Amino acid sequence: MVCIWYLWYARNVKYHEGGNTSAMELVTFVRVHYQEFEEANKRHHPLPSNGDECWNPPPPSSVKVNFDASFAQNLESGWSGVIIWNNGGQVMGASRRVIRRVTSTFAAEATTAIHVMDLALDLGFNSIVVEGDSRAVITKLSSVEEDASKISAVIYEGKQLTQNLHACRF
């Protein structure tokens, strides 16, 4: 997972700042974080919970799909990131895609939600639990009301794709 995160980070640095990351930097980063992880596991002492949970697994017959988007206004483009987990926390699929001709973060997040459904269906999953950080997009996708916003066409497409799934929870 650290490797996937670092690749996403390196992509953002290249995309937004024009920087480059070498393969050796990636390997070093992953090794250091793996060593830290191993060391932390050796001396693990459970911390008291404040009630906030980072990740709840989906029901056994479902997968959880997390998504996020980036947006570059000056380029009118962005990237979508999607990752699918089973109830054991194993990654079952992941995707990143460029989003072209997008005019807002809101539209990028909505387009990424479409990528969620596309990936789940392409990989043969028919029962999904969707999580993302755009409450507005998730609310629109889960609403029975017709959407009249600037992204109504994308929301409509997302709702149509959910009909191809046995179950889709947001």
Domain ranges for the chain, please list them: 2-42, 63-169
In angstroms, rounded to a whole number, what is the distance separating the alpha carbons of residues 113 and 86?
Answer: 18
**pTM for the full model?**
0.65
Q: Check residue 49 and give its pLDDT.
A: 52
Q: Check residue 3 and give its pLDDT.
A: 67
Distances (CA, A) of 143 to 17, 21, 59, 146, 159: 38, 42, 22, 8, 9
Q: What is the pLDDT along the chain (170 residues), one digit of tens a residue?
A: 666 776 777 777 777 777 777 778 777 777 777 777 676 666 544 544 555 557 789 999 999 999 999 999 889 899 999 999 999 989 999 998 999 999 998 899 999 999 999 999 999 999 999 998 888 898 998 898 888 888 899 999 989 998 888 888 88
Distances (CA, A) of 158 to 10, 130, 141, 162: 30, 12, 7, 6
**Number of neighbouring beta carbons within 10 Å of residue 5:** 12
In angstroms, rounded to a whole number, what is the distance separating the alpha carbons of residues 154 and 140?
Answer: 10
Class of domain 63-169: alpha beta
What residue has token string 């932390």? 40
